[in-house]
Amino acid sequence: MLSPLDYLFGLFSLDIGIDLGTANTLVSVRGKGIVINEPSFVAIEKRSQQPIEVGARAKEMWSKNPKDILVVRPLRDGVISEFEVTEAMLHHLIAKAHEQTWVPIPRPRVVVGIPSGVTEVEKRAVFDAAISAGAREAYLIEEPVAAAIGAGLPVQETRGSMIVDIGGGTTEVAIFSLGGIVISRSIRVAGDEMDEDIVRYMRNKHNLLIGEPTAEKVKIQIGSAYPLPEETTMPVKGRNLVTGLPASVEVSSIEIREALSGSVEILVDNIKDALDDTPPELVADLMDSGIVLAGGGSLLRGLEQRITEEVNIRGTVADDAMTCVARGAGRVLEDYNNLRRLLAGLERGSTQH
Ligand code: ADP
Ligand code: MG
């Protein structure tokens, strides 16, 4: 329970929700919406081992590959790999969110979305990082839970609902009923894997070597999970593996769908698998409420139709699918009494400050 003092504090405090995604980091502030949306990159100066840039600027450095700077993606595989880097990122985000307020207010309360299935040690690391990065109170929430809240699913109600959050590094499936999670699944197949599929396909079928950024562009431009009303093509530039020379190949959306088919199948199987373990009455609920898709990966063309057809439950992409986790995390503090039981443990204010 919040004490009366906490409640009073809450009225004047900055409440922020943070989505530490494998691909993108977002911050939402109560009353303002999304204030930060940047790639999850951190640039570290090799000599001093100090983080020097975070977000878009760090990603820019990454593409230029400077020799005295190490650019890391600390959350790439959905796991928080390094405490200092995560702390630097959180510090940057909290400071930036704080900067945008006009009145002097106490240090913020922060809810951080973490991939489901992270270890207790990792949870502790994120929590400590948030506190040492300047949060007055920190709370953790599993990303699919935050995504479901952000997408407006009735997670507090008795009836069942289902979210599939497809990010860069992980796809998380969660089924809710009776105010909590009943079933959850997390796999390491999501947007990044699709990019790798395209890199592999271009190499094997066209002898063309391309990088992941190019593959991602191809995926976004012509990728799909279901036949398109009008199939298209686009030129893809890379290096011919036989001649070693630059080359451009015209590739069709049909080919790219084939390239992505393995990953898409794994995604669909993961959903089927979760449904297999779901009690029948709950499945009946889901047939009414449908499956809500969130995360950048859910924007792959035709994924809704593909899921609808394969699992026989209607799939729909949430509004503003890429911001669901940050918005959902931010909303927890607004409705703390009802939503607190959906938090992922480790909730506490900092006492040492
Ligand atoms: P995370 O939560 O892991 O940071 P996001 O939810 O931000 O991930 O989604 C990032 C992923 O979404 C990337 O793999 C990106 O390529 C993919 N993505 C973004 N837009 C699209 C699109 N229109 N079609 C297909 N994939 C997309
Ligand atoms: Mg995410």
- 22 C-beta closer than 6 A to ligand 1: yes
Most informative mutation of 220, 222, 260, 317 for ligand 1 (most atoms within 8 A of CB): 220
Please state, as a whole number, how many other Cβ atoms lie within 10 Å of the Cβ of residue 97. Answer: 22
β-pairing, 291-294 with 315-317? Answer: parallel
> Please, are residues 98 and 14 in contact by the beta-carbon 8 Å criterion?
yes
* HEC secondary structure over 307-349: HHHHHCCCEEECCCHHHHHHHHHHHHCCCHHHHHHHCCCCCEE
Ligand lying nearest the CA atom of residue 167? 1
From 197, 216, 306, give the residue whose CB has the most ligand 1 atoms within 8 Å, as the site to mutate.
216
Residue 192 Cα: closest atom of ligand 1: 14
**Is the Cβ atom of 140 under 6 angstroms away from ligand 1?**
no
Please tell me the number of the ligand nearest to residue 74's CA: 1
Model confidence, pTM: 0.91
Q: Which residues are placed with Cβ below 5 angstroms of ligand 2, an ion? A: 21, 167, 295
Beta bridge partners of 42: 54, 72
Ligand 1 probe mutation, 299, 304, 325, most atoms within 8 A of CB: 299
Is the Cβ atom of 327 under 6 angstroms away from ligand 1? no
CA atoms within 13 A on the CB side of 190: 26
Measuring from atom 8 of ligand 1, which residue has the nearest CA? 167
CA distance 84 to 130: 11
The bound ligand whose nearest atom lies closest to the alpha carbon of 169 is: 1
Residues in the chain: 353
Separation of 216 CA from ligand 2 center, angstroms? 17
pLDDT, one tens digit for every residue, the chain (353 residues): 556 665 555 556 788 999 988 899 999 998 889 999 999 888 989 998 888 888 899 988 887 778 899 988 877 655 566 677 877 888 888 888 877 766 666 788 999 998 877 788 888 888 988 888 888 899 999 999 999 999 999 998 999 999 999 999 899 999 999 888 999 998 999 999 999 999 999 999 999 999 988 999 999 999 999 999 999 999 999 999 999 999 999 999 999 999 999 999 999 999 999 999 999 999 999 999 999 999 999 999 999 999 999 999 999 999 999 999 999 999 998 888 888 888 887 656 544 43
| Interval between CA 168 and ligand 1 midpoint (Å) | 5
